[in-house]
């Protein structure tokens, strides 16, 4: 189950867990918002500046953790013409952040991308001029940023989409034409070393940016889309998608044998401190030599579906959802 598949499920409540000290993983309380709501993205600027994104009652949701509680920072009011509006991905650094997502514009009759920038005090809209697609993830590269997503067959241009933020402007990048292609996550180490993953039809898709051109990179065959990627260096990157954990060694992507069977997200502080989380509350750690399954904290009698993660020197944060009214729906 990827970030999009869970959206729209009834009575979903967002959940956040964090590894902030030697005390182990803990559920972060209080909850971000009243149920039902969905959390789909997380970014960490510091231990007292953690952002989560999602949607609540058909409206976009962005909340900030200040070390004690969650608050909703000032933001533009929701557009009344937007249906199912929400934010999927978020990137953060001290004093700045970017959130991306999408909605269906019932007036224009098409999907529209959503972008908001945090200026240190409030959120400001920075929506692209073009529509017909949605955005799913974003990452900072120095003072610049990249966002990825995909068009829809009934909207605008079908296929993967990438936008580049530079000189205070979002500009679309040229991408290879990939039928039924979509990008779900992006991560990079430098302006000339970015990875984006997603799907080509039902199989996994991996693309790389070398500072000039986005190209499709050969990868092992997967039965499901790749839902997340983390880049650590030009010779070290990881990607996950359901029953696959893939590793880049600087020359090629290869399958990695792990005990994980339902991976949705991966993050890392160092090459020997990786975490994978997913469906059924699954949580696993890689110490540079071996993978170990770890017990995931969750409310008694419930099972979490973890969807997104972020790492910072002060800890690891993972967000997802639980459904106290239809547990089976989350595990379908």
Cα–Cα–Cα angle for 124, 128, 129, nearest 5°?
125
Range of 57-61, 113-117, 313-317 with top mean pLDDT:
113-117
- How many other C-beta atoms are found inside a 10 Å radius of the C-beta of residue 318? 29
Residue 12 has pLDDT above 90, yes or no: no
Average pLDDT, whole number, for the chain? 89
Strands 133-141 and 123-125 turn out to be unpaired
Q: How far apart are CA 127 and CA 25, in angstroms?
A: 36
Q: What is the mean pLDDT of residues 3-20?
A: 67
* Choice between 158 and 47, residue whose per-residue pLDDT is larger: 47
Residue range 293-315: mean pLDDT, rounded: 85
* Separation between Cα atoms, residue 179 and residue 279, nearest integer Å: 28
pLDDT of residue 11: 67
Task: Find how far residue 17's CA is from the centre of its chain.
Answer: 15
pTM: 0.91
The pLDDT-based confidence of 329 (bands split at 50, 70, 90) is: very low
Gap between the Cα atoms of 68 and 250, Å rounded: 41
Among 9-13, 31-35, 192-196, 279-283, which range has the highest average pLDDT? 192-196
Alpha carbon distance 99, 85 (integer Å): 13
Reported as a pLDDT band with limits 50, 70 and 90, residue 324 is low
**Structural Rg of the chain based on CA atoms:** 18
53 or 300, which is more confident:
53
- As a whole number, mean pLDDT of residues 31-55 equals 91
pLDDT tier for residue 6 given thresholds of 50, 70 and 90: very low
pLDDT of residue 8: 42
């Amino acid at each position: 189950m990827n970030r999009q598949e869970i959206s729209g499920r009834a009575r979903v409540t967002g959940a956040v867990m964090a590894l902030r000290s030697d005390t182990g993983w803990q559920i972060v309380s209080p909850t971000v918002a009243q149920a039902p709501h969905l959390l789909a993205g997380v970014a960490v600027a510091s231990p007292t500046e953690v952002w989560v994104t999602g949607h609540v009652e058909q409206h976009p949701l962005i909340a900030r953790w200040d070390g004690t509680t969650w608050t909703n920072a000032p933001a533009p009011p929701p557009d009344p013409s937007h249906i199912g509006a929400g934010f999927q991905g978020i990137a953060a650094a001290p004093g700045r952040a970017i959130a991306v997502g999408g909605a269906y514009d019932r007036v224009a009759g098409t999907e529209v991308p959503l972008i908001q920038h945090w200026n240190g005090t409030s959120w400001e809209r920075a929506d692209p001029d073009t529509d017909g697609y949605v955005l799913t993830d974003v990452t900072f590269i120095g003072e610049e940023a990249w966002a990825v997503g995909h068009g829809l067959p009934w909207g605008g241009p079908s296929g993967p989409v990438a936008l580049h933020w530079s000189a205070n402007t979002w500009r679309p990048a040229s991408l290879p034409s990939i039928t039924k292609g979509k990008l779900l996550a992006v991560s990079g180490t430098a302006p000339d070393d970015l990875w984006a993953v997603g799907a080509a039809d039902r199989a996994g898709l991996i693309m790389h940016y070398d500072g000039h051109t986005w190209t499709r990179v050969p990868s092992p065959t997967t039965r499901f889309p790749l839902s997340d990627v983390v880049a650590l260096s030009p010779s070290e990157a990881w990607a996950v998608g359901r029953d696959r954990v893939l590793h880049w060694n600087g020359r090629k992507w290869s399958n990695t044998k792990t005990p994980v069977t339902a991976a949705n997200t991966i993050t890392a502080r160092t090459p020997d401190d990786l975490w994978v989380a997913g469906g059924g509350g699954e949580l696993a750690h890689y110490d540079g030599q071996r993978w170990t399954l770890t017990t995931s904290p969750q409310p008694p009698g419930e099972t979490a579906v973890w969807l997104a993660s972020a790492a910072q020197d002060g800890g690891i944060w993972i967000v997802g959802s639980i459904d106290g009214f239809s547990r089976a729906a989350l595990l379908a």
